[in-house]
Amino acid sequence: MDPSPEENAGQRDFATLYSATLAPLRRYLTRLLGNASEAQDVAHDAYMRVYPTITGQPTRYPTALIYTAARRLAINRLKRRSISPIARESSNAETAASQAPGVEQQVMARQELEILEKAIAELPEGCKAVLLLRKIELLSHREISERLGIAVSTVEKQHARALRLLRSALEGRIDP
């Protein structure tokens, strides 16, 4: 059964209305709701509500009808949002989990730091100097060689040796 010419005209009118009003309606609802995704949902619901009216009978002001339906739906959504027991977007600082490490993590970190400091202190002087300049002062191998008056290749070897010695000294003493 083919739709009547009147139904086709109603659907064409609705399609024209939809394409002409969709973008401005979304912008209007986004300003009203403050959320583009919610605005898209409300716009869709508004078109669904007015579709039977617009396609069923000629409407004098179809744009006004769609905007009125969308505004009412948006206001209802805002009302529901304000009385909702759980606010989706806002977080309460008093009930939120702390981002700071707990006491246990702080104690473990201090113990690991003590173990690392002791292992660094036990390194040979050349390795220790190169390691500290590289990791603490963030100097390049070339800058370290200039400061210590040794070859770049020596700096590279001392750095690699320091890392190897630290790894073996810390193996089993600090959990990964």
Percent of the chain past pLDDT 90, that is, above it, reads: 43
> What is the reported pLDDT for 8?
56
Q: Pseudo-torsion of CA 162, 167, 173, 175, nearest 10°? A: 130
Average pLDDT, the chain: 83
Alpha helix ranges (H) inside the chain: 5-33, 36-56, 62-83, 103-121, 125-135, 141-148, 152-170
Dump pLDDT digits (tens) for 74-132.
Answer: 999 888 888 765 555 555 556 566 677 888 888 888 988 898 899 999 999 999 999 99
Domains of the chain and any CATH numbers: 5-83 (1.10.1740), 111-170 (1.10.10.10)
Residue with more model confidence, 172 or 41: 41
Distance CA 17, CA 47 (A): 10
Distance CA 135, CA 174 (A): 19
**Rounded to two decimals, what is the model's pTM?**
0.44
Sign of the alpha-carbon torsion through 69, 74, 77, 79: negative
pLDDT band at 134 (very low <50, low <70, confident <90, very high): very high
Nearest Cα to 63, choosing from 98, 11, 24, 100?
Answer: 24
pLDDT tens figures, 23-37: 999 999 999 999 899
pLDDT tens-digit map of 49-59? 888 877 777 77
pLDDT of residue 1 exceeding 50, the answer is: no
Q: How far apart are CA 143 and CA 38, in angstroms?
A: 57
DSSP classification of residue 107: H
> How far is Cα 152 from Cα 144, in angstroms, rounded to an integer?
8
